[in-house]
Amino acid sequence: MSIIAEIKNRRAIRDYAERDVEDEKINTLLDAATWAPNDRMREPWSFYVIKGEAKKRYEILASEYLQERFPTKPHLVESSLKVLKTTPVHIVAAADIVPGDEEATRDNEYAVCCAIHSMWLAARELGLGFVWRTRGVGLVGDHRMYDFIGSPENKKIIGNLFIGYPDDQAIIKLPARTPYQQKTIWL
């Protein structure tokens, strides 16, 4: 399949089969990420793989967070926790903060976004489902996630990546896209 076709066929997969993701495939995703474009070859990314016992600890943390954040929405908490429990592996992606240099820091965030997208496309090739979470169950902006990954200094979490083998029974929606012509101005 062509690269353009792969980009157009990329989907956020949220439902996973009860099957572990092999470390070899996780390593392939991480390797793909490191080939993303980045300003001045700073390679400003760090990745934190959550599986096994760490995943169980993360589920407890996420449950506490969701119940605290959405006390009047038990169905939302329940559905979020279900997704969390059926996701075999998470990878938290963080960008380097350059103290005193907001522009370099912002460039680093963009580079990590590119790295995440590279992983997403590689996941398709490996037969894996992938979704990039930033809010809610992803805990991206919450201090507890920073604590969970070891409180790294000068890091900004960009995403929590949920990865697994797609559930064959899940319905994957094909979203309509606004034609680029409606979003483009030629100068």
Q: Which of 159, 156, 176 is closest to 98 using CA atoms?
A: 156
> pTM score, two decimals?
0.93
pLDDT for 26: 98
Q: Name the band, by pLDDT with cuts 50, 70 and 90, for residue 1.
A: low
pLDDT (mean) for 80-105: 95
pLDDT for 148: 95
User: What average pLDDT does the chain have?
Assistant: 93
10 neighbors 177 (Cβ within 8 angstroms): no
Q: Which of 185, 129, 124 is closest to 161 using CA atoms?
A: 129
Q: Which of 129, 114, 127 is closest to 159 using CA atoms?
A: 114
pLDDT digits (tens, 9 = 90+) for 167-179: 988 777 778 899 9
d(CA 75, CA 87): 19
Burial code (b: 16+ CB inside 10 Å, e: under 16) for 91-109 equals bbbbbbbbeeeeebbebbe
